[in-house]
């Protein structure tokens, strides 16, 4: 059992755990109070017995539809949050969650034609929204394209039998799967593509390709919820960050915010609004060049001492952070 934090006041009990794929598990939780959330949102989870360790995970369940509140988690090598949730947490344990966060949701849109795209674990908010649409707006024309590494990596495999979906497998494609990766030709085959509102979730390179390609093809409304992956130092492109308090050096891609760089390398950081408003991700930069888009919650002294809001900090060179 973890401990509550100021950001994670909601106590939930693990009812059961289901393995979705070789490296993905869904934890079904019971909240004894009413827990308000919207389809597609995420929550912070208090990890282990360390009060200040928080991780963000999608609420893969659907309000008003799902029997339980669920977290669907991919185990990442050396990932403290994912390893604890998938390997140590058991039925009957208690978890502490934050209020639901995020604006990646479709429940306020008037559009009658949607295209939902996902890769890997990016399917978690998409499935949450797909259930909500089926329950509350069955008249909406919904197209889904889901990309995975192999047929064995399809999350919610049984449930997809309830909804039309195009499955794309990068390798070992079998009956019912298109082979390879998402292509422009696959997008072109979507009926009324330019009339659709597009929701997309997955790794950063996938997200970038989808947005650029879809906009070039005339899609006007694109909403994204990225899941970040570490940049490779071998690529020779990116910035190097050294976090002294963790005695850790890692790399991040050009264009990533400091928060994205920290999270993609499994470095603990509190983050809630991700828009430079709440101040949760305050981080001290000791050396290096950067730009900031928000200093809303910082004092003049903190700014002078190198404190930034990680979600609003753009590295311009290698950085050293406290």
pLDDT digits (tens, 9 = 90+) for 59-102: 999 999 999 999 999 998 877 789 999 999 999 999 999 899 88
Give the CA count within 13 Å in the CB-facing half-sphere of 313. Answer: 27
140 CB neighbour count, 10 Å cutoff = 15
CA distances from 1 to 58, 96, 129, 297, 315 (A): 20, 9, 30, 32, 37
The size of the chain, in residues, is 322
Token digits of residue 44: 């912070």
- Tens-place pLDDT, residues 52-71: 577 889 999 999 999 999 99
Give per-residue pLDDT as tens, 252-303. 777 788 988 887 776 778 877 778 888 889 999 999 999 999 998 899 999 9
Residue 257: alpha-carbon gap to chain centroid: 15
Average pLDDT estimate for 35-58? 84
Contacts of 95 (CB under 8 A, 6+ apart): 2, 11, 12, 13, 14, 27, 29, 45, 46, 89
Q: Is 144 a residue whose pLDDT tops 80? A: yes
d(C-alpha 100, C-alpha 37), whole Å:
5
Given a contact cutoff of 8 angstroms between Cβ atoms, the answer to whether 46 and 1 are in contact is no
- Asked if pLDDT for residue 165 goes beyond 80, the answer is yes
pLDDT of residue 236: 45
Q: Which domains does the chain have, with CATH numbers?
A: 10-97 (2.40.30.10), 113-227 (3.40.50.80), 233-321 (3.10.20.30)
Please, are residues 226 and 201 in contact by the beta-carbon 8 Å criterion?
Answer: yes
**76 neighbors 66 (Cβ within 8 angstroms):** no
For position 237, what pLDDT does the model report? 52
Beta-carbon contacts of 138 under 8 Å, excluding residues fewer than 6 positions away, are: none
Contact 149, 122 (CB under 8 A): no
Alpha carbon distance 233, 246 (integer Å): 19
Q: How far is CA 277 from CA 33, 91, 223, 321, in A?
A: 28, 36, 20, 21
């Amino acid at each position: 059992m973890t401990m509550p934090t100021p950001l994670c006041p909601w106590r939930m009990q693990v009812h059961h755990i289901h393995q979705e794929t070789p490296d993905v598990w869904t934890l079904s939780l019971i909240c004894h109070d009413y827990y308000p959330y919207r389809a597609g949102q995420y929550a912070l989870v208090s990890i282990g017995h360390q009060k200040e360790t928080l991780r963000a995970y999608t609420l893969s369940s659907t309000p008003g539809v799902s029997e339980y509140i669920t977290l669907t988690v991919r185990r990442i090598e050396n990932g403290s949050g994912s390893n604890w949730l998938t390997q140590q947490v058991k039925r009957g344990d208690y978890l502490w969650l934050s209020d639901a966060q995020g604006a990646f949701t479709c429940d306020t849109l008037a559009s009658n034609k949607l295209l939902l795209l996902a890769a890997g674990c990016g399917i978690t908010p998409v499935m949450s929204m797909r259930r909500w649409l089926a329950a509350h707006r069955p008249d909406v024309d919904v197209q889904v394209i889901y990309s995975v590494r192999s047929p064995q990596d399809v999350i919610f495999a049984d449930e997809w039998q309830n909804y039309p979906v195009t499955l794309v497998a990068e390798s070992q494609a079998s009956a019912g799967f298109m082979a390879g990766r998402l292509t422009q030709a696959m997008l072109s085959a979507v009926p009324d593509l330019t009339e659709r509102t597009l929701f997309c979730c997955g790794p950063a390179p996938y997200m970038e390709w989808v947005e650029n390609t879809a906009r070039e093809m005339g899609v006007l409304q694109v909403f994204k919820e990225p899941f970040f992956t570490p940049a490779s130092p071998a690529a020779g492109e990116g910035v190097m960050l050294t976090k002294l308090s963790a005695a850790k050096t890692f790399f991040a891609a050009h264009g990533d915010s400091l928060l994205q760089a920290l999270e993609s390398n499994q470095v603990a950081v509190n983050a809630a609004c991700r828009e430079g408003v709440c101040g949760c991700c305050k981080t001290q930069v000791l050396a290096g060049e950067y730009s900031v888009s928000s200093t809303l919650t910082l004092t003049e002294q903190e700014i002078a001492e190198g404190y930034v809001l990680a979600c609003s900090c753009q590295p311009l060179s290698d950085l050293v952070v406290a």
